[in-house]
A and B are shown apart, each in its own frame.
Chain A
Amino acid sequence: MAIEVRIPTILRTYTDGQKAVSGDGASLSALIDDLEASHPGLKDRLIDNGDLRRFVNVYINDEDVRFIGGLEAELTDGDQVVVLPAVAGG
């Protein structure tokens, strides 16, 4: 099983500069744990106190995961995950 995960510029320090990495998991949460094993430090940039960080957007097949279960969103082989930092400020 392989899921392609697109990594934004600011997080590529955790992926040796790679724009995309692949991982496994039946849910977003499991996928992030799997990514953490090969790219230590990544998880902390995505999750805070057990929840997805407010200003990090994650999409599964173009759907914002906030609308499809958040960290519990289901994944299947071939899904595409995109991580994008929010563009926001005050």
Chain B
Amino acid sequence: MLTIEQATYDAIVAHARRDHPVEACGIVAGPEGSDRPERHVEMVNAAGSPTFYEFDSTDLLGLYRDLDDRDEEPVVIYHSHTATEAYPSRTDIGLAQEPNAHYVLVSTREHGNNDGPVEFRSYRIVDGEVTEEEVAVVPQLSTD
């Protein structure tokens, strides 16, 4: 199960809406091994495409250096689909290389840049196998 704060959830959805029809992407970092998505980081989609996303390679290095310095890892890796459902595409599955991450997919196909419900779903993707998981949106992550 992915447990995520309402504010983080809203920020991801807002990012996806803003970038529509281009795919939005980013991560939510948290302390290593904690499974707590605490720090939202928007990334630039270097592909600038409605059907593909890729973190810019220089940004990627900067991001991982920063995570390393903070003893964090990407707890959530998210991107949007702008014309299809919020389910990992074959490309998403083939390229998923963070076995510990929750892969979040947001679909803006219904309302694009406008307000309205969006699909927000989470998956584990390990060795080409996709497992959907429940998403619990909470006011705040527990402090214990």
Contact = CB atoms under 8 A, between A and B. Distances in A.
Interface of A: 8-10, 55, 57, 59, 62, 64, 66, 82, 84-90
Nearest to A90: B91
A10 B98 contact: yes
A66 B61 CA distance: 14
Interface stretch (B9-17, B52-60, B114-122, B128-136): B52-60
Given A57-B60, A64-B58, A90-B51, A85 B97 contact: yes
B100 interface: yes
B79 interface: yes
B92 interface: yes
B89 A88 contact: no
Given A57-B60, A84-B61, A89 B91 contact: yes
A89 B92 contact: yes
A62 B60 CA distance: 11
Given A86-B54, A88-B54, A90-B51, A55 B95 contact: yes
Given A57-B57, A59-B61, A64-B58, A86 B92 contact: no
Given A85-B97, A85-B98, A90 B61 contact: no
A87 B89 contact: no
Given A64-B58, A84-B60, A89 B89 contact: yes
B99 A10 contact: yes
B61 A10 contact: no
A64 B90 contact: no
Contact of B60 (A9, A87, A89): A87
Nearest to B45: A88
Contacts of A66: 57
B106 interface: no
A66 to B, nearest CB: 8
Interface in B23-62: 25, 27, 43, 47, 51-55, 57-58, 60-61
A86 B100 contact: no
Contacts of A9: 73, 98-100
A89 B96 contact: yes
B57 A89 contact: no
